[in-house]
Amino acid sequence: MTTPDQSPVELMVDYIMKNCLWQFHSRKWDREKQNASILGKVQQILCDEPVDLSTPADRCYWVDAVVLADAYKARFAWLQGMEHAAIRSLIQALHQRIDYLTISASLNAELTDQRY
């Protein structure tokens, strides 16, 4: 359950943490790549920009991005009234927060295990 005093970034983080399995890759570099790729494509979708679908990986990240962008549009009406520059700033802040939570602050030792 969300509260009215939660920031937009925290509302978006909350949705990812509760509904997106892609956040659980087991290596640091996987998480870095998927966070950047999915959230970058979410930004492009929300800002009506062209999305690169040239590789199989791009198409895979795009599918997750479409699902996430659609969920954000359905849940957060305030996104509809935002300028594209504000959406870009919001997604950048979201990306930083997700990287922190899923990589920097993670207690999962597998993320940095060189033998894994």
Residue 109 predicted with pLDDT over 70: no
Q: Is the CB of residue 65 less than 8 Å from the CB of residue 45?
A: yes
Check pLDDT > 90 for residue 22. Answer: no
pLDDT at 112: 64
Kindly list the domain boundaries of the chain, sorted by start residue. 8-20+27-109
The H or E element containing residue 96 is helix 84-99
For 113, other C-beta atoms within 10 Å of its C-beta total 11
DSSP state of 26: S
Question: Would you tell me how many other CB atoms lie within 10 Å of the CB of residue 70?
Answer: 12
